[in-house]
Structure 1
Amino acid sequence: MAYQNSIKSIAIGSFDGMHIAHQTLADKVDALVIIERNGGYLTPGYERANFTSKVCCFYHFDVIKGLSPKAFVQRLKTDFPQLEKIVVGYDFAFGKDKAGSARTLQKLFEGKVEIVEEVSVEGIAVHSRTIKAYLREGNIVMANKLLGRAYQIEGEVVSGQGLGKKELVPTLNLNVKAYQLPLEGVYATRTKVKGEWLDSVSFLGHRVTTDDSFAVETHIIEQELGQITGKVEMLFVDFIRSNQKFDSLEALKEQINIDITQAKEVLT
């Protein structure tokens, strides 16, 4: 596909998470060439376009992985006939078996190639893999600092156990696919329902007190929502506690009330 338009500069990368280092690259160009892979995403697929004002052009990795560095550069020149400048990160690798580096790109492309050096926050290098590691630890605060925003997921509202409304607190149960999920536990969150961001406390993990099934569920604090269908977005603000098993539903409900109080303090 040839982008017969005014695009003269591009940045290339996976841009998973659209974190602050990615934004540094994006600020320098007209468009992003996003290498699309499968699974474990901070920002799955086209979600990345929601976090930039720049044109996003997607190349699926399986389609381009067999190209030599030279053939890949030729593909760029064909798709972007007005291309004058390419921006990449210092650790950029491309071509079959990652044979090409940022320096290789400088040799193969006749125009300008700008290499952006490592971006750090509080001495921590900003990489998607580092953010994922923080999420797996439940360290939402550091993950959010490297992202430059609150970590966000989206899910389809599905029917749950039915225990929440009857025995505990009402929740929206979400079917979440493709996203990198944080450590199992309870979080202070904000949930977008019908276009409005509402304070919430959310659980993700195995329901070890009841049927041990995996769930992502969110309770909207001090709001009666009624029947909700469709997709819901959720922002993670802070970690409250890890997943744990309780001896009874009464004990679980008591802890949930404590969780709600803590979430309100965080979100105030």
Structure 2
Amino acid sequence: MRAATRTLDVTKYLLLSVGAVAMLTPLLWMVLASFKTLPEILTFPPTFLPEQVNLDNYRAVFDTADFVRYFLNSVLVAAISVVSVLLTSSMAGYAFAKFSFWGRDVLFVVVLATLMIPFQVRVIPLYVLASDLKLLNTYAGMVMPTLVDAFGVFLMRQYMMTIPNELIESARVDGAGELRIFFRIVLPLAKPALSALTIFTLVVSWESFLWPLLVASTSDMYTLPLGLAQFAGRYVDRTDLQMAAATMTVLPILIAFLFMQKRFIEGMATTGMK
């Protein structure tokens, strides 16, 4: 029995390792190719490691495109979206999980139902609304669709249902107000779920392409995905420069995930999501 269990475990780990290698190989090739010259990238048979680390690709990218501005725009848009989603989702999730009011369950179902509506269906009315409010080509217009997230409300509600009601009631007996209970007791206990939601929101905002493409009409408002698309169209035959630009776009979000992966996994596990 033990031998069969051990064989099954080894098989699972081997399959997971193969899957991990298959997932990471394109990313590793992109990063390594960003340090190669164009003739070395086009060499057949291809080589995985660069013969010599070459930083000229990154210098050329910064010289030919304003990637610093694109990066700052992406950071600003992502930061506003993350802060807004964390605040609104945690407050709504706390209300749905710990307060009883008329129509609570129906309202929660309505919130979940919005997840079934694709963004492509909502994009036209959102664009008309942004135009009427004079928010086109502004940071406010860029972040407008991502200020509130129904999935975030669901995630925080599921996690906050695991917080003991006795803990909140004892704080009320001690004279603590609702805002103090929320910010001093509930939010510190919800750090794993907040970390998971931060990663989700950051990835969605960082990779967003369609909405910034519609809203931004000048290059100084471009985020990294828009800047990368414009750069790739301009230098379609320069694979070396494209790999360097793509690496600069992907690495910040990858580093953020590596720092927060422990909390992310804990938050996903404790909310009962598989």
TM-score > 0.5, shorter chain as reference: no
Compare the two structures and name the one with the higher helix fraction: 2
Q: TM-score w.r.t. structure 1 length?
A: 0.22
TM-score (norm 2): 0.22
Q: Quick check: which has more Rg, 1 or 2?
A: 2
